[in-house]
Amino acid sequence: MRVFRVGHSPLPEAPSVREERFTIFAMVTLLIDMDGVLTKDKEFNPFDYAPTFIKNLKAKGIPFRIVSNNSTRPPSLIVEKLKEKGFDLEDGEFISPVAVLPDYLKDKGFRKIFVIGTPMLAEFLAKSGFEVKRDYEVDAVVVGQDKEIDFTKLKTAVSAVFLKGAKIVPVNLTRIVKDSDGLFFPGAGSVARLLVHATGYEEELPNLGKPSPQFIELALKGLPRDEVYLISDDIYTDLMGAKKVGLKTVFMTTGKYKREEIEKAGFKPDFVFDDLRDLERQLIGN
Ligand SMILES: [Mg+2]
């Protein structure tokens, strides 16, 4: 199947009648996962074709957003990092649940919080107007990725929930994360579930990250929604969730799972690609 698509940019010269017959003017919008699709490690180093891929999307007027469940730093600092690594990007073209978090906490009326997460996350929340505390007397425990997680933090978090009725707010529900050395560690979702288990917490955990409806809504703001693809290396969290909310799914084998995982997961994505060049050729055309 060869489908030509035309994105946002003004149409070039009117196509000849012959060309027109073979052109489908479907507006494709891409939500592109960052980790494992565009970047290959925690230092934001890109796969070799990734910056060109983004450049080409812009040149062709294909609407897109880079989406990530990264919980370690605010979106503006990630955009800065990606620019350093050669991506031509603007603020607003990158969306993460950290952007959703302050509004969520405010809506719930939480003021005092304990943070399992990076100093950058804690600082961002403090700047957003929350009292970030080091003890268990808080309204909520925010859980992001934290490579310095230790017994004291876990004890404080468990006490906040168990003794003070603090709510558990994971930045994302990620189960497992591939580290730069090829090994794996539990994602924020897994640490949040540890707190749930320990305290007998009965509320459902909120899902602020992709592919929750709230997150997708924010990511698609101002973009056409005729045909939206989520491109990701994560079958379980991203693609299965994306399908549930009506998005098309593209599985990239460049990240945490190999092709064989589809069988194991019993999931059939709309497309599978081993390389961004193939994706570009088949999904976007020339
Ligand atoms: Mg990923």
Task: Find the length of the chain.
Answer: 286
**How many other CB atoms are there within 10 angstroms of residue 42's CB atom?**
16
- Name the CATH superfamily housing domain 98-199: HAD superfamily/HAD-like (3.40.50.1000)
Please state the pTM of the whole predicted model: 0.79
* Residue 259 CA, ligand 1 centroid: distance in Å: 15
Distance from the alpha carbon of residue 255 to the mean position of ligand 1, in angstroms: 7
Distance 109 CA to ligand 1 centre (A): 31
Place of tokens 């969290």: 237
Ligand 1 centre to CA of 197 (Å) is: 26
SS3 154: helix
Tell me, what's the pLDDT at 213?
87
Collapsed DSSP state (helix, strand, coil) of residue 252: strand
Distance from residue 28's CA to the centre of ligand 1 (Å): 21
Q: Is 133 exposed, middle or buried (0-12, 13-18, 19+ CB in 10 A)?
A: middle
Predicted local distance difference test score (pLDDT) of residue 90: 93
Name the nearest CA neighbour of 205 among 245, 236, 175: 175
Q: What is the pLDDT of residue 168?
A: 98
Is the CB of residue 186 less than 8 Å from the CB of residue 202? no
CB 85 within 8 A of CB 51: yes
Distance 108 CA to ligand 1 centre (A): 29
User: Given this model, what pLDDT does residue 18 score?
Assistant: 43
Q: What is the pLDDT of residue 13?
A: 46
DSSP per-residue letters across 181-213: TS-EEE-HHHHHHHHHHHHT--SPPP--STTSH
Q: How far is CA 113 from CA 122, 164, 188, in A?
A: 9, 12, 16
pLDDT at 4: 44
- Comparing 17-96+209-284 with 98-199, is the CATH topology the same? yes
CA of 232 to the centre of ligand 1 (A): 6
AA letter at 185:
F
In this prediction, residue 110 carries a pLDDT of: 98
Measure the CA–CA gap between 62 and 96, rounded to whole angstroms.
20
CA 123 to centroid of ligand 1, rounded, Å: 25
Chain centroid offset of residue 274 CA: 20
- pLDDT tens digit at each of 286 positions of the chain: 344 444 444 444 444 444 444 444 468 999 999 999 999 988 999 999 999 999 999 999 999 999 999 999 999 999 999 999 999 999 899 999 998 899 899 999 999 999 999 999 999 999 999 999 999 999 999 999 999 999 999 999 999 999 999 999 999 998 888 787 888 999 999 999 999 999 999 999 999 998 888 899 889 989 999 999 999 999 988 999 999 999 999 999 999 899 999 999 999 999 999 999 999 998 888 6
CATH superfamily, domain 17-96+209-284, is HAD superfamily/HAD-like (3.40.50.1000)
| Separation of CA 82 and ligand 1 centre (Å) | 15
The domains of the chain are located at 17-96+209-284, 98-199
